[in-house]
Amino acid sequence: MVINMSELIKLIQDIEMDALYEFKKICDIHNIKFYLRGGSVMGAVKYGGFVPWDDDIDVAVPRSDYERLIEFCKDKVIADKYIINSYKFCEKLHCYFPRMSLVESERIQLGLPKNTNLGLHLMDIFPLDGAPNHVILRKLYFIKVYFFRTLASIGTQYEENMKNMHTKKQQIVIDFLRFFKIDKLIVQQKIYDILDKIYIKNSLENSRYAGTITASLISKEVMRKEIWGEGIHWKFGDINVRIPSMYDEYLKKMYGANYLYEEPTIRKTHI
């Protein structure tokens, strides 16, 4: 049976709601704190669930809980349907942060498309990290992160079914470096290890600034820690989840002052 894009996104969103429910169960059992992040916060606040065209869920997990989550999920299948992969134990992930995906046999049975070489990823799991308190040190931190993230990006060979989510500017830089064969010198896993050390250097507890710098907007993701705060509970569909305490300030920093009234002209999807 052939279905159109809007029907496909709705079907994937229904599966992602179930994945979020199972993810939250694990986090509740193991006392792991998480927030919605990015477009998922926008969806919760503006639509009470998914942004209509969104086809994945983003969450942020404070670093100490994030490390425990990765260790717990290694080699485990969740609810017989989902798996969480990390670059630390899955070299083919080609991504620093972990992703929750549908088990491949389940994807095939449901007749769903792939959006990565590993199958259908449903949720991005970002660490919530501290950042330098001083503005100059913070700018140097951003430069260092940009540099190593670019190096890591050129190590990703886009196989069939992997959608390239880089901006045009990012792709120009990546293509330039590949032209000079820099990608042949890069071991992606080692670059991820370098980034890991950079990210954990500023503890969340001792920082006045925090964010998910591993996510797509990089420096925009970092903001005053009190914006995240302890979080407040909000309905995402019929699931009660945590979003940043000062969610209005969070969304304005991420998407602009008129986020409630304007719709983006470019609507990115992963399929």
For 122-171, write each residue's pLDDT tens digit.
999 999 999 999 999 999 999 999 999 988 888 676 555 556 555 676 66
**Total number of residues shown for the chain:** 271
Neighbour-count burial for 1-40, b at 16+ CB within 10 Å, e otherwise? eeeeeeebbeebbebbbebbebbbebbeeeebbbbbbbbb
Query: Whose CA is closest to 60, among 30, 90, 32, 89?
Result: 32
Residue 12 structural domain: 5-248
Can you give the pLDDT at residue 185?
72
Confirm whether 264 is domain-assigned: no
Is residue 104 assigned to a domain?
Answer: yes
The answer to whether residue 101 sits within a structural domain is: yes
pLDDT score of 258 more than 60 = yes
Percent of the chain at pLDDT > 70 equals 87
Q: How many other C-beta atoms can be found within 10 angstroms of the C-beta atom of residue 164?
A: 10
Element (H, E) at 22: helix 5-29
Let me know if residue 261 belongs to a domain.
no
In a domain, 95, yes or no: yes
Q: What is the pTM of this model?
A: 0.92
Segment among 111-120, 168-177, 236-245 with least mean pLDDT? 168-177
Q: CB-side exposure of 79: number of CA atoms within 13 Å?
A: 17
pLDDT averaged over the chain? Answer: 90
Q: 63-73 vs 5-29: helix axis angle to the nearest 10? A: 100
Rounded to an integer, the average pLDDT of 112-124 is: 93
**Is position 123 within any domain?**
yes
Statement: residue 271 has pLDDT above 60: yes
Token pair of 62 as six digits: 């404070």
Number of domains composing the chain:
1
pLDDT for 245: 98
Q: What is the DSSP letter of 113?
A: P
Is 81 part of any domain? yes
